Structure 1
Amino acid sequence: MAFLKTYRLIIFSICIILSIPVLGLTSDLTHLTAEVNVVQGFEVTGLLASIVTLLLFPLLLVVSATRKNAFVLYIVYELGIVAVLWILWVVAAGLTIKKKNQLLGGFTCSALGEFSSEVEQKCNELVATEGIEIVTFVLLLKYMLVLFVYALVIHLRDGNSQVWFQTVEDIQGPEFPALTHKTGDLEPGAAGVPMTNYSTPVPATYNTPTMQ
């Protein structure tokens, strides 16, 4: 379906673009903490989520453009892949939010800038990473819901259980029955058209009196 195919391309492209700054920001933060041998959990999950996204989503787009019936593109498998990525981004965002709250303690990054400009810069990087991670997992969640609901409607309405083993480009929208019919197309005996028996009327006969 054109809508679902375009929606998939947009979501995947945005996630790829957002993964690039997350990779850069978390790499910079990891470089700082690695110097004191204290690598944080939010840094590891942020790096993992961004790297896996940058590897899988371009691969899925390339495969869908070159191989139409690859099993990895089936809806059931694509939902699984996106679900795993969504979990990674949720965990990364949760750990980043927790770390930000621990560091700031109700203050803003500008308040920390009074002590050190470098600390303020790292704080801003942490806040930016948090925002991008939240946006990314929300986009992935929306795509999963749209794809799952659409496939489920086709499965239940049309009785097409094989829709889960079709690609996004192959599935067709649910077929809705026609609500109106042309009268000229219906014949007696067709569905919904009752049979009507008509008999030829017999002309009335009159007895003419005879003259005596």
Structure 2
Amino acid sequence: MLMVLNKCSCNRVQSQTFGDNSILHLHSYNDNDDNQHYFANDDVNERIRSAFDVHQVENTLYAVLGKRSDSLRKLDQKIQRINNNFKFVENTCQNTHANVKWDKYNGHCYHYGTDIIDWYTAKRYCQKIGGYLVKIDNTEENRRIHSIIRKTGRNHWIGLTDFKEGEFRWTYDQSVASSIPWYPGTGKHNTNKNCVDIGDFSGKWGDRTCSIQLAYICERNFCN
């Protein structure tokens, strides 16, 4: 510890500490004595002043706070997705399969889910009600589905994935999809985008991260 001593009639002690270095000041407040004596090591004092540089401290704090803020924002988004999924499961448990509405078309039945959930949750729900995430076999079926979902203003999950990168298969029967009507800029090789949706506006398909929350379409081969 470095001591800076003043002969005075009234002394005040102020201590500042940074890391392993400390400096202790005794200041003179004698109005009749203008002579103050300081014993200090200039090199040590310069290092202490540099360490306490206000701009360096502010820049460091802003950088740390910025990272913390970004991390908290991402955490809030994850919590919101989890809450949405739990709410969806809770509502599902309160309803029976008999309450599920099916739209009949060309020998198959379709359920247009309005809950906003991730792809995996949508897949499990479709299985729970006796169906599967929709498999779109041809242009006519795609046109029919698009005519319904465009009224909702929401994109919908379908049962197509490329968990084996670049090979898009239907979860219903594991058949490989052909002639996919991709939305411009989608359908490229990207390991972070393995699930496919159908757009409400264009009826085109796009690959997305499976954790994104969208509406969904279930299909079953038989319904009442």
Q: Same fold (TM over 0.5)?
A: no
> TM-score normalised to the size of structure 1?
0.24
| Between structures 1 and 2, the one with greater helix share | 1
Larger RCO: 1 or 2 (CA < 8 Å, sep 6+): 1
